[in-house]
Amino acid sequence: MRYVLLLALVLTIASSGEARTPRSVCRAACRDAIELCVDAGSRRAGCRRRLVRRCRQVGVMVCEVDTTPFTTTTSAPTTSTTTLPVGLIVNGCDATHATDLRGETDVTVQFGVGFDIFDYAPECIIVTPGTRVTFSGSFQTHPLVGGQVVGDTAEPDSASPFGRTDSGSMRTFELDAPGTYGYYCDAHGVALHMWGAVIVAP
């Protein structure tokens, strides 16, 4: 009987403790970002999975929702300011949470390798006009399509610079025009949320 009482006491203390798992911390921190993703037309489960995973890898700051425009100022020969739309989310990507690779002339997006074979790395990037973006992986296994996934529907974009690539292992695109260019895996984009976007901005 003593052991039963001791076990009950231990369970009561453990359940009333404030210990929180990294997943629960990220779910709470990402609540607003998940809502923005869902409002943009993506499925809640996919938004939650992607944002919580990114939060656990990078930290809770990845889920901060900024209500001010994304503005950068660069000073080279001339000073310019770029303002990207607030809240514009394409394939789970927006300017506030994208990896900023502006200034790089060549950028590589890998897929189908490593821990998560159903993911692009990095999946959301910002580059300057004229950047060459190379996709590296098996296009036969993960056919690349320019467009976006909205809800449970893949929407190819015939005007996308990415078009469709379903053979080979490397393809390079030079992105000159500012804009947001979504892409997804035709085989796994809808089911496994294998998608991303390239934001081209000065």
For the chain, the first-to-last Cα distance in angstroms comes to 72
- C-alpha–C-alpha distance, residues 150 and 89, integer Å: 11
On whether both 148 and 50 belong to a single domain, the answer is no
On whether both 33 and 127 belong to a single domain, the answer is no
| Amino acid 84: pLDDT | 46
- Which one has a higher pLDDT value, 13 or 148? 148
How do residues 105-157 score in pLDDT, each as one tens digit?
999 999 987 767 889 999 999 999 999 999 999 999 999 999 999 888 999 99
- C-alpha–C-alpha distance, residues 154 and 144, integer Å: 12
| Amino acid 192: pLDDT | 86
- CB-based contacts of 71, cutoff 8 Å, min separation 6: 81, 82, 83
On whether both 81 and 143 belong to a single domain, the answer is yes
Q: Are strands 99-100 and 106-111 parallel, antiparallel or unpaired?
A: unpaired
User: Which contiguous run of DSSP H or E holds residue 45?
Assistant: helix 44-58
| 3 token code pair | 């052991």
pTM for the model? 0.61
- C-alpha–C-alpha distance, residues 101 and 112, integer Å: 21
| Amino acid 25: pLDDT | 79
> What angle (nearest 5°) sits at the alpha carbon of residue 103, between those of residues 61 and 132?
105
How do residues 146-198 score in pLDDT, each as one tens digit?
999 988 899 999 999 999 999 999 999 999 999 999 999 999 998 888 999 99
Residue position matching structure tokens 């927006």: 94
- C-alpha–C-alpha distance, residues 128 and 75, integer Å: 14
- CB-based contacts of 21, cutoff 8 Å, min separation 6: none
On whether both 103 and 130 belong to a single domain, the answer is yes
Number of structural domains the chain divides into: 2
On whether both 134 and 157 belong to a single domain, the answer is yes
Domain boundary among 11, 32, 62: 62
Domain that holds residue 117: 68-200
